[in-house]
């Protein structure tokens, strides 16, 4: 039988993209609806951020996560729910005092960053491993904080998806695996094309793939125009894939995607054309050993 490939769909993200496309979901109802559309198109996992329903800006409000998760679960869908923990690591030094963050609520404690995860117990949650320059701000993930989050996530029975933006992050992932912080198999998401992390190239993907711990599972995505080429490359190299409006607003050049469903449909076509199969949520659970 052909290899099952997990398709994850990142529904909305935490960037200021709602103003760039009318199709980016904002309210809990819209985000949940997009999750179900992605599942219908072939996604086994949906990766969820929430937004302020009034402004469309990113939010960390647990009540919004609660509403999205409630709606998905109430639908009876078998899709795996993956909640982000990335918010709370943004730092821009104040011009007058670089010791002070100029971003209001930009940094948060480890416990605050995972509060919604501990309450809602999703199947999966993201765990960002490394500190890096990201576009025009510093994304800070202090090692002791990462480890505290990892321990609490494991105690809650949630599978962490380790976000790897560069080779150093992959090396740190291996180190944490050797310390026994994660249950088997570790699950890595290789993130390509984000300024200023690893570029979205075959060479970068191959190098990062080589760093995946023995027995680990991995997925990859590229942002913007690299989204679908990286789907093909990840499948060819033996990995799983991610698409969605968090990473790219366009279905093809000049054509805004009308939602997450069409992006998953295109990814599914690529998966099948490369003689692999689209994994069901049940298969994804088996691959990742999620009960």
Q: Please, which pLDDT band fits residue 1 given cuts at 50, 70 and 90?
A: low
Strand pairing report for 217-222 and 187-192: parallel
DSSP string, 145-177: HHHHHHHHHHHTT-EEEEEE-SHHHHHHHHHHH
CB atoms within 10 A of CB 291: 6
Please enumerate in sequence order all residues whose Cβ is within 8 A of that of 99, keeping only pairs 6 or more positions apart, or say none: 93
Q: For residue range 209-235, what is the model confidence (pLDDT) as tens digits?
A: 999 999 999 999 999 999 999 999 999
The reply to whether CATH 3.60.140.10 applies to domain 4-288 is no
Share of the chain above pLDDT 90, in %: 96
pLDDT of residue 207: 96
Q: For residue range 122-145, what is the model confidence (pLDDT) as tens digits?
A: 999 999 999 999 888 999 999 999
Taking the C-alpha atoms of residue 63 and residue 180, their distance in angstroms, rounded to an integer, is: 32
Contact 130, 172 (CB under 8 A): yes
How long is the chain? 291
Position 285 pLDDT exceeds 70: yes
Q: What is the mean pLDDT of the chain?
A: 96
Question: With a threshold of 0.85, does the pTM exceed it?
Answer: yes
């Amino acid at each position: 039988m052909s290899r099952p490939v997990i398709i994850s769909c990142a529904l909305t993200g935490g960037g200021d993209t709602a103003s760039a496309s009318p199709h980016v979901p904002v309210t809990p109802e819209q985000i949940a609806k997009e999750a179900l559309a992605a599942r219908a198109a072939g996604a086994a996992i949906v990766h969820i951020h929430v937004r302020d329903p009034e402004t469309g800006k990113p939010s960390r409000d647990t009540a919004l996560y609660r509403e999205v998760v409630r709606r998905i679960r109430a639908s009876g869908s078998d899709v795996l729910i993956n909640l982000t923990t990335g918010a709370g690591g943004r730092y821009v030094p104040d011009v007058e005092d670089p010791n002070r963050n100029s971003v209001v609520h930009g940094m948060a404690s480890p416990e605050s960053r995972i509060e919604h995860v501990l309450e809602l117990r999703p199947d999966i949650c993201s765990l960002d491993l490394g500190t890096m320059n990201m576009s025009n701000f510093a994304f800070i993930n202090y090692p002791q904080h990462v480890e505290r989050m990892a321990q609490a996530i494991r105690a809650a029975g949630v599978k962490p998806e380790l976000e790897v933006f560069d080779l150093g992050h992959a090396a740190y992932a291996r180190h944490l695996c050797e310390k026994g912080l994660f249950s088997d198999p570790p699950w890595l998401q290789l993130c390509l094309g984000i300024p200023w992390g690893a570029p979205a190239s075959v060479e970068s993907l191959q190098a990062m793939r080589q760093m995946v711990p023995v027995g680990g599972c991995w997925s990859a995505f590229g942002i913007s125009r690299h989204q679908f080429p990286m789907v093909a490359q990840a499948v060819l190299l033996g990995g799983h894939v991610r698409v969605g409006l968090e990473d790219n607003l366009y279905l093809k050049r000049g054509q805004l995607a009308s939602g997450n469903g069409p992006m998953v449909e295109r990814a599914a076509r690529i998966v099948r054309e490369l003689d692999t199969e689209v994994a069901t949520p049940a298969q994804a659970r088996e691959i990742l050993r999620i009960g």
